[in-house]
Amino acid sequence: MNLKRPAPNVSAILHRAIALAKAGVSCGEIPIAAVLVDADGNVLAEAHNQVETAQNPIAHAEMQVLQQALQYRRYFEDCTLAVTLEPCAMCMAALCHARVGTVIFGAYDPKSGGTVNGARVPQHMHFKPDILGGIEEDSCRTLLQDFFKTLR
């Protein structure tokens, strides 16, 4: 039985992630954030990247969101995770392990992505989420580009 039920408004959820990513900059983080919603659009968990705050190289936004949500449930077939940047191999494999039904992301990441670029993790996993890339791509890419400009 296919339990996947994509959330109703993927653009709105990604805009919520974009706002959260911007908030992360004031904590010294690269602006990347993720939001997990159920099939009715209720937010189950959300987080920005916390690599700098936590001095933890694996504290990516998606991992923080999963750790929060896993306190309540083990699997998320009926849920959608939205993230501003293509998940890396670690995050994508974690999302497969937790059976997140749909993963949508904004900007593609040819250098460090592991979803449709690099290791292309889903094609090797038992559970394969539905993947939608390039949603609100311009906003998500500009967010990162503007941040890195300020560092120069």
> Would you please indicate which residues are annotated as catalytic (active-site) residues?
62
Q: Which stretch binds a second copy (CB under 8 A): 101-109, 119-127, 130-138, 139-147?
A: 119-127
Q: Which stretch binds a second copy (CB under 8 A): 20-28, 66-74, 102-110, 140-148?
A: 66-74
Contacts of 19 (CB under 8 A, 6+ apart): none
* Per CB under 8 A, 131 contacts a second copy: no
User: What DSSP string runs through 80-140?
Assistant: EEEEEE---HHHHHHHHHTT-SEEEEEE--TTT--SSSTT-GGGGSSS--EEE--TTHHHH
**What residues line the site for a second copy (CB under 8 A)?**
55-58, 66, 70, 74-75, 88-90, 92-94, 97-99, 112, 114, 118-121, 124-126
